[in-house]
């Protein structure tokens, strides 16, 4: 099973990057910034994707990244976000991805921007738990 973790992180604090790295550590893979890899270039059974809101909207490059994801490359997306209060990034990403026919896990990870240190262990455990979760199987009528 191939699991990838991608994120968009803009402030010098790197809040979303730190959560992405913790999730990736839990999974046992490397987190990669979309600034370093602007297009998903490998198939993902589970695709962790995270970002943050800036003035109430996600970074334009994250929006573009999500819009350009090839649905045939991704089986399931798990979202994460950091912010002061808003979960808007998760909601907006979910809407975009679902409209492309990509399956998005209802559960997501949120860390408040001032509580990143406290959330690292939880993010690690989240990655581990979501990676172990069985993918939904298709059912067929016969």
Ligand X SMILES: Cc1cc2nc3c(=O)[nH]c(=O)nc-3n(C[C@H](O)[C@H](O)[C@H](O)COP(=O)(O)O)c2cc1C
Q: Which of residues 68-127 bind ligand X (CB under 6 A)?
A: 82-86, 113
128 CB neighbour count, 10 Å cutoff: 14
User: 49 near 6, Cβ under 8 Å?
Assistant: yes
- Distance between CA atoms of residues 132 and 27, nearest Å: 9
Q: Which of 5, 34, 52, 62 binds ligand X (CB under 6 A)?
A: 52
Asked whether position 36 contacts ligand X by CB under 6 A, the answer is no
Smallest separation (angstroms) from ligand X to the CB of 111: 8
Helix (H) / strand (E) element for 80: namely strand 77-83
Asked whether position 3 contacts ligand X by CB under 6 A, the answer is no
Please state the φ and ψ torsions of residue 128, each to the nearest 5 degrees: -60, -45
Smallest separation (angstroms) from ligand X to the CB of 13: 5
Residues that bind ligand X (CB under 6 A): 9-11, 13-17, 52-56, 82-86, 113
């Amino acid at each position: 099973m191939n699991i990838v973790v991608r994120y968009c992180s803009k402030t010098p604090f790197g809040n979303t990057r730190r959560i992405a790295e913790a999730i990736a550590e839990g999974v046992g893979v490397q987190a990669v910034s979309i600034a370093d890899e602007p297009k998903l270039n490998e198939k993902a059974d589970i695709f962790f994707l995270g970002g943050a809101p800036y003035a109430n909207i996600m970074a334009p490059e994250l929006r573009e990244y999500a819009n350009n994801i090839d649905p045939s490359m991704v089986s399931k997306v798990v979202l994460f976000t950091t912010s002061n209060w808003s979960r808007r990034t998760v909601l907006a990403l979910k809407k975009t991805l679902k409209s492309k026919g990509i399956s998005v896990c209802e559960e997501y990870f949120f860390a408040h921007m001032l509580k990143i240190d406290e959330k690292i262990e939880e993010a690690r455990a989240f990655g581990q738990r979501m990676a172990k979760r069985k993918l939904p199987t298709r059912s067929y009528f016969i």
